[in-house]
Structure 1
Amino acid sequence: MNGISLPQRDQLLLRFFACLEEHGVSYCVLSGLSAQNPEYDLDVDISAAPADSALIARLVRAFARDNDLLLLFDIWSGTCSRAYTLVQRGSAGRVMLKLDIMAGYGSFSTGEVLRHAELARNRVNNGMFWSLSPQSELAYLAVRHVLKNDNRSYRAERIRELQGTQDMGAFKSAFAPVILDAVKAAAADQLPQKGTTLRRQLARYGRARMGLRRRLAAGAQEIRRRAQRIRQPVGCSIAFLGPDGSGKSTLISALHKNLSPVFHGVTLLYWRPRLLPTPGRLKFWNPAPEKQENPNPHDVVPHGRAVSLARLLYFACDYILGHFLVVLPRMIRKDLVIFDRFLNDIRLDQLRYRMAVPARLLRLIERLAPKPDIIFA
């Protein structure tokens, strides 16, 4: 899957679980780690005791070092959760592990819907790692099913299977009534009718459990987390420069394929952010269609100095505003943004863009416009 050697990945996972066991970390695996599971992918969801969060962070760094892995991402992904991405070192490095470690299940907006102690209650050791008991798995899957508005049939089938094997009287004693309602709705495929109401009820229940003081502390922590994401986006932006036929499209296609598992999404942009429309579309008397590429870029007549200057300033506004309104928000969400050509391309080939402006002015605009993290020429 995605070019990953699953046995090697599983060996690393088992070593990591053994490391947690050795240091007395209370954890249970939330993901289905079976090759037959449709959700079997790189992400491994783990619930751990809140008191162990600092220890786990140290253990992940030590584990990466001891196994010659690069800790590519260490992301504060939620109020009480962190996401780690480990890759093989070297130019042919591959994503090996994506660990999402959380304290129970919930978020700042939904509160503590399920605490770690509830998920770890009667946890099962299958000889390799600790996983959820059937009762806790039923609660977790139903809550996740509702909160994420997830209507995938195989998950509903698993919920129905678990519901049929569980003593629902004991389940009612172990979990809140709203979680039992979520189980019933998910098992009966009633999310379209009851999902919105259940999501509100689960959020009210989760926030009430936190109490006012912890809610305020979580709010302050969430503000810090979001500010940190803005200051240091966890996504990446890359631009490719070069003449037609130099291999840009081939490299972009390879990056899209090989780096997709690392990021939450990939955004492809041609030349500029395109927050603003093509200047030709602004002509009310004869608007030109929006074009992404020109098949004959040099079969044109350059604009005069005044029009070229106006177009350059217009494009500069698109690069500057587009960075903050198009590119940066995607990078904050952990997206990979790839530019096929960039602003610097004007200086290399003014005729392609029908420009006739001084090189000194172009260099000034380049300094003012935010740059991608990496530029390949």
Structure 2
Amino acid sequence: MNKKELFKKLIKIIDKNNIPYALVGRTECYPENIGSDIDIIIPRSEIKTFKQVIWQIEDNQTKIVQMLQHEIVAFYYVLFHFDNGDIVSIQPDVCTDYYRKGRKLLSADYLLEGRKDAVQGGFHVLTPEKEFIYYLLKKVDKRNLSEEQYEHIRTSYLINKDKALLEAKEFWKGENLLVIQKSMDENNFLLLHNNLRKLQQGIHSSHSRKTTDILKNIALKIKRILNPTGYIITVLGPDGSGKTTVMEQFKKDIKPAFRRLQQFHLFPKPHKGATKVVEDPHGQKKRNLILSLLKLIYLLYIYIGGHLRYVLPMKIKSTLTIFDRYYDDILVDPIRYRNDTPCWIVRFIRCFIPKPELWVILDCPTEVIQARKAEVTPAETERQRQAYLSLAKSKKNCIVLNTNRDVKEISYELCLFICKSLNERSIKRYK
């Protein structure tokens, strides 16, 4: 199944359940070429129904992995389809009344009046003047407008100038309205682009926030904190097991499931510049017992502080956080970390280290690892392999991946595993 077929399946479910809707934005290439988000407007009275029937899209290969509520009445879904090594995803962004930062700008019922069939058929769109005002408001309030987006706005405007200007008068007066009209009539992209800030201020002055909407927006933020939509994984394995190669492919494949991606090396602290490459991991002597203990305490401080300052806020903001190595590496390879404390002390401190939601252990035959990176002896590589596999058995939320195969196959397996976990989380929260 490709994006086109997955999109048609979604529209069929909406039509089957008699939910009035319209797609908004640059849909002229649909369904042959679908971009990142599929923006859909439905009546406010139908949102409860939609949140129930969208689960009908699921089957053994198609799963809802995320539902991010980014406005009072706006719900961003992420759907993944897995089929024999191929990964397909679409992101329906469903809203009712159009809100921006808790400020109601347009009602869904008004926008959907007179909706029509798209030129290419198969789905509904707004009338040109309503598409004009919706997309213009969206771009102005984000203060983000490309020339291609401007052309879409202007095309909608030119179909019926008089009606489009009537829509604009609800939000702008005087000089601001003239800027919009002149820009559209004269095909002057820079005139509109250079006045985005003033036009945004015009929206805010003409449409103030209501107290009830402010309270609902606060409640939404609290809900995000209590139910974060990000995810944290840690990737472990001997040098040469393929961490860098696998993660680069994996990040490309899993990216649609999250708003952002963030990667840390060893502990949650941003690195300035490139990470230093360790060419001889066993080349330095161990610290003495006291210094080793102080180093572990320092690492505990770094992990707790870093999670509070960086990781948890990113998790609330729908970020996939990836750790390349983690505190547990000290148990596997104490020489690398110059640690001379007994294992029981390392394990005791580990009890207070924040845990990821998934441990990923990369493994492959010793001779393969040695061919990739012969930084330690074959015997030491084999010892580390067995130590990581033993570590994996001690953890419930862990997956072991054989990296002696095509990297796309490895990434596919990891994406499938994580998406099943995200799907289970979504079912508990939303279904």
What amino acid is aligned across from residue 33 of structure 1 in structure 2? T
1:18–1:175 Cα change, 3 Å: farther
Q: Give the alignment of 1:232-251 within 5 angstroms.
A: 232-251=227-246
> Displacement of 1:80 after TM fit?
0.9
> Displacement of 1:262 after TM fit?
1.6
Paired residue secondary structure (2:27): coil
What amino acid is aligned across from residue 199 of structure 1 in structure 2? Q
Q: Give the alignment of 1:36-185 within 5 angstroms.
A: 40-65=34-59, 69-88=62-81, 92=85, 94-109=87-102, 111-126=103-118, 127-168=121-162, 170-178=163-171, 181=177, 183-184=180-181
1:37–1:18 Cα change, 3 Å: closer
> Displacement of 1:356 after TM fit?
1.4
> Displacement of 1:121 after TM fit?
2.8
> Displacement of 1:228 after TM fit?
2.4
1:340–1:38 Cα change, 3 Å: farther
1:100–1:241 Cα change, 3 Å: same
1:236–1:205 Cα change, 3 Å: same
Residue of structure 2 in register with 1:31 after alignment:
25
- Would you say the 8 A contact 2:171–2:202 is kept in 1? yes
| d(CA) in 2 for partners of 1:376, 1:319 | 19
| d(CA) in 1 for partners of 2:321, 2:182 | 39
1:185–1:354 Cα change, 3 Å: farther
TM-score (norm 2): 0.74
- Would you say the 8 A contact 1:113–1:203 is kept in 2? no
> Displacement of 1:177 after TM fit?
4.0
**Cα distance per residue 1:199-229 (max 9 Å; x no partner):** 1221333335xxxxxx333333323322222
| d(CA) in 1 for partners of 2:69, 2:234 | 27
Paired residue secondary structure (2:208): helix
1:161–1:174 Cα change, 3 Å: closer
Paired residue secondary structure (1:313): helix
1:178–1:216 Cα change, 3 Å: closer
- Would you say the 8 A contact 1:156–1:186 is kept in 2? no
Which residue among 261, 280, 292 is the counterpart of 2:256?
261
> Displacement of 1:14 after TM fit?
2.3
Say yes or no: does 1:271 pair with 2:271.
no
> Displacement of 1:36 after TM fit?
8.3
What amino acid is aligned across from residue 365 of structure 1 in structure 2? I
> Displacement of 1:108 after TM fit?
3.5
> Displacement of 1:373 after TM fit?
1.0
Aligned residues between the structures: 351
> Displacement of 1:185 after TM fit?
7.8
- Would you say the 8 A contact 2:13–2:54 is kept in 1? no
Between 1:199-208 and 1:333-342, the stretch displaced more is 199-208
1:21–1:192 Cα change, 3 Å: closer
1:192–1:42 Cα change, 3 Å: closer
**Cα distance per residue 1:237-265 (max 9 Å; x no partner):** 11111111012112211211111122112
| d(CA) in 2 for partners of 1:270, 1:249 | 11
Please, which runs of 5 or more residues in structure 1 have no aligned partner? 209-214, 279-288
Which residue among 335, 355, 366 is the counterpart of 1:351?
335
- Would you say the 8 A contact 1:87–1:93 is kept in 2? no
Paired residue secondary structure (1:352): coil
Between 1:150-159 and 1:48-57, the stretch displaced more is 150-159
> Displacement of 1:116 after TM fit?
1.3
1:139–1:350 Cα change, 3 Å: same
**Cα distance per residue 1:153-196 (max 9 Å; x no partner):** 1111222333333233x333345342583844874323554222
| d(CA) in 2 for partners of 1:330, 1:79 | 21
Q: Give the alignment of 1:182-193 within 5 angstroms.
A: 183-184=180-181, 187=184, 188=188, 189-191=190-192, 193=194
| d(CA) in 2 for partners of 1:260, 1:197 | 34
TM-score (norm 1): 0.84
1:50–1:299 Cα change, 3 Å: same
Residue of structure 1 in register with 2:296 after alignment:
312
What amino acid is aligned across from residue 238 of structure 2 in structure 1? P
Q: How big is the alpha-carbon RMSD for the aligned residues of Structure 1 and Structure 2?
A: 2.8
| d(CA) in 2 for partners of 1:128, 1:171 | 26
Paired residue secondary structure (1:150): coil
| d(CA) in 2 for partners of 1:15, 1:88 | 12
- Would you say the 8 A contact 1:85–1:95 is kept in 2? no
1:230–1:95 Cα change, 3 Å: farther
Please, which runs of 5 or more residues in structure 2 have no aligned partner? 362-431
- Would you say the 8 A contact 1:28–1:120 is kept in 2? yes
**Cα distance per residue 1:267-310 (max 9 Å; x no partner):** 111111116x89xxxxxxxxxx9954422221111112222122
> Displacement of 1:369 after TM fit?
1.2
What amino acid is aligned across from residue 100 of structure 1 in structure 2? D
Say yes or no: does 1:372 pair with 2:356.
yes
Residue of structure 1 in register with 2:195 after alignment:
194
Residue of structure 1 in register with 2:316 after alignment:
332
1:166–1:194 Cα change, 3 Å: same
1:14–1:84 Cα change, 3 Å: same
Paired residue secondary structure (1:155): helix
| d(CA) in 1 for partners of 2:142, 2:33 | 15
Residue of structure 1 in register with 2:211 after alignment:
216
1:36–1:227 Cα change, 3 Å: closer
| d(CA) in 2 for partners of 1:15, 1:113 | 31
Paired residue secondary structure (1:119): helix
- Would you say the 8 A contact 2:229–2:316 is kept in 1? yes
